[in-house]
Amino acid sequence: MITRPLDLASRPRRTPRNFDAFYFINAGLIVLFFLLFGSRFVLAPGLGVRLKGGFALPTMEGAQAHAVATNVFISVPRSGVALVDEGMINYTELGSWLQARAKEHKAPALLIRADQHVPVQDLADIEAKASAAGFIYVQVAFEESTEGK
């Protein structure tokens, strides 16, 4: 009876003497891959949500049912200030920033993530600036209300 018909144990190649160059090439390619194709959403600095006394979205019943996809967003932690990708800007700079972002997209849609203490007048001003900049849709972020569930 033949127990090892192909005799594979006698046919493998010898191991190369040095793998150092391949190690550094692979490590370099992995680093290059993450630098070129890395996402800005992975470990990106952000705005803390649900911190005690911190930023909190307002709640509304049916908020998830009316959710839409947007391609530009801003965060408004307090009146007069907006957080964008480049950092914190005031409302006077916001108009030109919105115009630049509206030109980058075919159908620009804006999501405003405002703290629950931001006045509605500020939201209306931001919406007016967004409409003037060319945004076709403006959405204000709300969290789903958990009352009554």
Tens digits of residue pLDDT in 46-77: 544 444 556 666 666 665 666 677 888 899 98
Q: What percent of the chain has pLDDT over 70?
A: 70
DSSP code per residue over 36-84: HH--TTSS-----BS-TTSB---EETTTTTT----SEEEEEEETTEEEE
CATH number reported for the structural domain that contains residue 66 in this entry: 3.30.420.270
More confident residue, 119 or 148: 119
Tell me if 79 is assigned to some domain. yes
- pLDDT score, position 65: 65
- pLDDT score, position 98: 93
Calpha distance 145→63 (Å, rounded): 8
Calpha distance 79→113 (Å, rounded): 12
Give the pair of three-digit tokens for residue 42. Answer: 């992975």
Tens digits of residue pLDDT in 87-104: 899 988 999 999 999 999
Tell me if 46 is assigned to some domain. no
Closest CA to 98 of 131, 139, 125: 131
Which residues span the domain enclosing 118? 59-144
Q: What's the total number of domains in the chain?
A: 1
Tell me if 72 is assigned to some domain. yes
